[in-house]
């Protein structure tokens, strides 16, 4: 272990005896783990704050005991407990320890060599399962070593994750204007349809609007999603009151519940989603479609820009009638 001396600043490794206790210079073998804990205590301004900031589990009493042992080893008081304040000896030790511990991540990265680019992508389960794999085949042509992590969630969750920096890019429903602190690119406007059990007599959605009261339960995505909010807004314009009875976590579940006879469902007009032998599909003419788009925060990195461009090209090729001709600035 490296020997560290404190007291008169001479740097000598030998013990000296002077006129009073405060004049003594001590040297000792320093436990590196104790030194690491001291670094976090000094960095965060106290033992309790350090416990919350240390990247592994350790209890406050253990840190306190090991700080006492460190002070015993170096022969000097390193900090005042309350209010927290480094002593001159503590400031000197922190000045030595701080560069080492703050540069560890950089040293480790240098030893590992250059890392493959990483992308944290969020979206609805349908998007991540059926569409993103095709998109990523194109992206890998430019970034063959890309590391991809997928995060399934609804519209509000995706926006929160982007603001918190938990994901880099999201593909899902978007509003006419970009959410606060986020950027967006519209990709496609997907029409909505009404799904009804095949044994029901209705041939047109207008037959339901003409009724004084709709007794069938309404099935759809969570009420906070743009699909259901826009649907309810368009119903209100027609003077129709139809409270939602069932919130499904995916568009596939909406179809499944309707097929099971549990109500009528609002869904996207995507054949692979709505096709079922027990379901009849009624167009929702005049209802606002759901706009799909890409969402990100700040200036997109070259990798994120490549993925956005690949998603845009895929949307135009897959849904030419629904595609939006927006482009990245």
Phi-psi region of 9 (alpha: psi -120 to 50; beta: other; left: phi over 0): left
pLDDT digits (tens, 9 = 90+) for 75-117: 999 999 989 999 999 999 999 999 988 887 767 666 655 566 8
Query: Does this model's pTM top 0.95?
Result: no
pLDDT for 154 equals 86
Assigned CATH for 192-288: 3.40.190.10
Please give the distance of CA 265 from its chain centroid, rounded to a whole number: 30
pLDDT per position as a tens digit, 222-248: 998 889 999 999 999 999 999 999 999
What is the distance between the alpha carbons of residues 264 and 218, in angstroms, rounded to a whole number?
A: 5
Distance CA 273, CA 254 (A): 9
- Structure-token pair, residue 206: 């207008």
H helical segments located in the chain:
32-44, 47-53, 60-74, 88-102, 104-112, 125-126, 132-142, 155-164, 205-209, 226-237, 251-259, 271-274, 302-318
CA distance 73 to 6: 11
* pLDDT tens readout for residues 29-57: 788 899 999 999 999 999 999 998 888 88
Instruction: Say whether pLDDT at 255 is over 90.
Output: yes
Identify the band that residue 122 occupies on the pLDDT scale cut at 50, 70 and 90.
Answer: very high
Specify the domain boundaries for CATH 3.40.190.10 within the chain.
118-189+291-318, 192-288
CATH topology of domain 118-189+291-318: D-Maltodextrin-Binding Protein; domain 2 (3.40.190)
The rounded distance, in Å, linking the Cα atoms of 150 and 239 is 41
Select 3-109's CATH number: 1.10.3860.10, 3.40.50.720, 3.90.550.10, 1.10.10.10.
1.10.10.10
């Amino acid at each position: 272990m490296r020997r560290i001396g404190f007291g008169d600043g001479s740097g000598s490794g030998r013990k000296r005896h002077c006129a009073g206790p405060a004049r003594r210079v001590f040297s000792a073998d320093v436990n590196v783990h104790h030194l690491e804990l001291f670094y976090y205590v000094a960095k965060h301004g106290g033992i309790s704050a350090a416990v919350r900031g240390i990247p592994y589990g350790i209890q406050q009493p253990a840190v306190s005991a090991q700080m006492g042992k460190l002070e015993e080893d170096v022969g000097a008081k390193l900090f005042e407990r309350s209010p927290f304040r480094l002593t001159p000896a503590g400031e000197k030790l922190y000045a030595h320890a701080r560069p080492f511990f703050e540069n560890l991540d950089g040293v480790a990265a240098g030893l590992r060599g250059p890392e493959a680019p990483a992308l944290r992508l969020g979206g609805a389960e349908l998007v991540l399962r059926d569409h993103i794999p095709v998109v990523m085949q194109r992206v890998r042509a430019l970034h063959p070593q890309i590391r991809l992590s997928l995060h399934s969630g609804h519209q509000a969750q995706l926006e929160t994750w982007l603001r918190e920096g938990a994901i880099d890019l999201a593909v899902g429903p978007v509003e006419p204007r970009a959410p606060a602190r986020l950027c967006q690119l519209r990709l496609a406007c997907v029409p909505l349809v009404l799904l009804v059990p095949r044994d029901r007599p209705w041939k047109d959605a207008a037959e339901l609007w003409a009724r004084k009261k709709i007794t069938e339960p309404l099935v759809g995505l969570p009420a906070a999603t743009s699909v259901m909010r826009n649907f309810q807004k368009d119903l209100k314009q027609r003077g129709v009151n139809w409270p939602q009875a069932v919130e499904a976590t995916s568009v596939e579940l909406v179809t499944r519940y309707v097929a099971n006879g549990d109500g009528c469902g609002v869904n996207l007009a995507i054949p692979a989603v709505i096709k079922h032998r027990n379901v009849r599909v009624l167009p929702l003419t005049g209802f606002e479609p759901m706009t799909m788009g890409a969402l990100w925060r700040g200036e997109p990195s070259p990798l994120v820009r490549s993925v956005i461009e690949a998603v845009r090209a895929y949307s135009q090729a897959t849904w030419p009638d629904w595609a939006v001709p927006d482009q990245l600035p």
